[in-house]
């Protein structure tokens, strides 16, 4: 065979049309994509703290609850506290008030609950408010606006617990640090203060506010009567 003819034969044998069937690589099976596993969503965490209360909005909250019966006490205009005092995950407001209309403050069926946390509540002996008496109003929060909400009217009015150095104590930290001591069955944050020379704590538990003195505490008081719940007022067995 002539060199030119041999070259043409070699070119033909090397062409794709001739070698495609014999040199085809075996197909590789395509792997299925990995199964998608959704990541569980975490509970949203609040990234901003609630704004500190200002006197005008505190006065508005007091007006909402007491109408013209009480006002923010002029000697305690900068001494109001916020915390989750009743343990319902809503911020409450504690503010010192004084009577503006004594007859309205001592009305027979007020919309607030008058209590003295330092003594056992006796529904047969109703408490009375005195002229110019300093009282601690605790307005429970409601809805997304908490104590600022127009519907936040559930309020305890507390006698004989306005002291000095009032500040909020985190309830969980209080229990954690109180290991080994007899502690009250509190439901939320506490108010720490010095009252008549003795440091103690105001706390919510067993449907009302009580006073805790670490030196004299023997147990939570038994309560009976009306108390506030999330949906309104309820009555405990007598």
Per-residue pLDDT tens for 65-114?
999 999 999 999 888 999 999 999 999 999 999 999 999 999 999 999 99
> Greater confidence, 234 or 85?
85
Q: Is residue 204 part of a domain?
A: yes
Q: Give pLDDT tens digits for 127-167.
A: 999 999 999 999 999 999 999 999 999 999 999 999 999 99
pLDDT, mean of residues 203-213:
94
pLDDT in tens, 22-35: 444 444 444 444 43
Tokens of 189: 């944050």
In the 3-class helix/strand/coil scheme, how is 40-83 assigned residue by residue? CCCCCCCCCCCCCCCHHHHHHHHHHHHCCCEEECHHHCCCEEEE
pLDDT of residue 3: 52
On whether residue 86 sits in a domain, the answer given is: yes
Residue 164: give the domain boundaries. Answer: 55-235
Please report the pLDDT score of residue 39 as a whole number. 37
DSSP H stretches of helix in the chain = 3-14, 16-19, 55-66, 102-105, 171-177
- CA–CA distances in Å: residue 228 to residues 54, 99, 231: 26, 22, 8
Instruction: Give the pLDDT score at 224.
Output: 45
pLDDT the model gives residue 5: 53
Is residue 203 one of the residues assigned to a domain? yes
Vertex 209: Cα angle to 63 and 103 (nearest 5): 40
Burial of 193 (0-12, 13-18, 19+ CB in 10 A): buried
Whether the per-residue pLDDT at 21 is higher than 80: the answer is no
Q: Is residue 155 part of a domain?
A: yes
Asked which of 49-53, 83-87, 211-215, 232-236 is least confident by mean pLDDT, the reply is 232-236
State how many domains the chain has.
1
Q: Which pLDDT score, from 0 to 100, does residue 15 have?
A: 52
pTM (predicted TM-score): 0.73
Domain-embedded: residue 185 = yes
């Amino acid at each position: 065979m002539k060199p030119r003819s041999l070259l043409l034969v070699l070119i033909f044998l090397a062409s794709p049309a001739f070698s495609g069937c014999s040199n085809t690589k075996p197909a590789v099976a395509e792997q299925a994509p990995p199964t998608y596993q959704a990541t569980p969503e975490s509970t949203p965490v609040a990234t901003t703290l609630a704004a500190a209360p200002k006197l005008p909005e505190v006065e508005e909250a007091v007006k909402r609850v007491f109408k013209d019966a009480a006002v923010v006490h002029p000697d305690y205009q900068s001494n109001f506290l916020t915390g989750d005092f009743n343990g319902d995950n809503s911020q409450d407001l504690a503010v010192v008030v004084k009577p503006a209309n004594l007859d309205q403050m001592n009305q027979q069926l007020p919309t607030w609950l008058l209590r003295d946390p330092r003594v056992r509540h006796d529904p047969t002996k109703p408490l009375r408010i005195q002229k110019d008496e300093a009282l601690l109003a605790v307005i429970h929060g409601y809805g997304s606006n908490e104590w600022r909400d127009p519907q936040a009217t559930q309020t305890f009015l507390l006698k004989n617990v306005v002291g000095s150095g009032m500040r909020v104590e985190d309830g969980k930290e209080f229990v954690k640090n109180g290991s080994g001591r007899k502690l009250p069955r509190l439901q939320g944050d506490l108010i720490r203060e010095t009252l008549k020379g003795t440091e103690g704590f105001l706390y919510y538990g067993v449907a009302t506010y009580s006073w805790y003195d670490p030196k004299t505490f023997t147990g939570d008081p038994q309560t009976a009567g009306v108390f506030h719940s999330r949906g309104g007022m309820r009555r405990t067995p007598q």
